[in-house]
Copies of this chain bind each other. A is one copy, B any other.
Amino acid sequence: MDEWLKHSTEVEASWVTADLTIFTVREGQLMVLLVERGVEPFLGRPALPGGYIQKDETLREGALRELWEEAGIDGRRLHLEQLGAYGEPRRDPRGRVVTIAYLALGPDLPAPVGGTDAERAYWAPVAQLQSDAQALAFDHAEILSDALEEVRTKLEYTAVATAFCGDSFTLSELRKVYEVIWGQVLDPSNFRRKVLNTPGFVQPTGEQRLPPTGRPAALYRRGTAWLLSPPLLRGGQQS
């Protein structure tokens, strides 16, 4: 590979990893999947799941493989999108490691199983992590923060909220996703009106679901639209 280096000896090979920020809504909270590191550096510290990209896989394939290896989660049914690359020269004490951060979203996911490196995988409430962000390994606190901001924004102008719901869901469940992630209560009636008036956001299945108490709720599945127009803005809704 050395013959490519023409102008500078300052170029060197890097290791490329994929790290995943996996969000789900559980018990009325936004949760993120963390692993307890089983190897140095940051041994024993919580971290986002991730690992090295292999020779013949795409970045996305690598992210999916790490998700499976480290937490036993099949990511093919999750919403998975790239967040961005993080490559500060000293973000990893071992050398130059550039990580490609992925954002994954899913409905209330199964409890993760331990990974191959004897890591322990578990769901952690995001709200609680914000206070002591120092706990996370590498620059994972920054990645998590960016991921959260990304999700909050995307809720407004895409149908990404449906990724947190199952195949069919009630409007209350969908609203709960917005409320948990935005951290604000939304008016049920206005929320319903907006969602139903946004073409392609959701479509009724015709089925119903019985809540623990109260009137049955109609079920919906996600519609064909990804971009919402008009968007669902979190503005000054008070109550």
Contact = CB atoms under 8 A, between A and B. Distances in A.
Contact of A7 (B13, B116, B156, B157): B116
Interface stretch (A22-30, A84-92, A123-131, A180-188): A84-92
A10 B56 contact: yes
Given A98-B16, A116-B7, A89 B157 contact: no
Interface in A203-236: 229-231, 233, 235
Interface residues of A, number: 42
Given A58-B87, A59-B85, A89-B55, A231 B231 contact: yes
A201 to B, nearest CB: 16
Contacts of A87: 16, 53, 58-59, 100
Nearest to A61: B89
Copies of this protein, total: 2
A13 B13 contact: yes
Interface string A31-58: 0000000010000000000001111111
Nearest to A60: B87
Nearest to A83: B84
Nearest to A39: B6
A57 B235 contact: no
A12 interface: yes
Contacts of A14: 13-16, 53
Contacts of A54: 8, 10-11
Contacts of A16: 14, 16, 87, 98
Contacts of A12: 55
Nearest to A158: B153
Which 6 A-B pairs have CB atoms at the shortest separation, nearest pair first? Answer: A13-B13, A10-B54, A59-B87, A85-B85, A11-B52, A85-B100
30 contacts: A1-B15, A1-B94, A4-B15, A4-B94, A5-B52, A8-B52, A10-B55, A10-B56, A11-B53, A11-B54, A13-B13, A13-B14, A13-B15, A14-B16, A14-B53, A16-B16, A53-B87, A53-B98, A55-B96, A57-B89, A58-B87, A58-B88, A59-B87, A84-B84, A85-B100, A87-B100, A98-B98, A98-B100, A157-B231, A231-B231
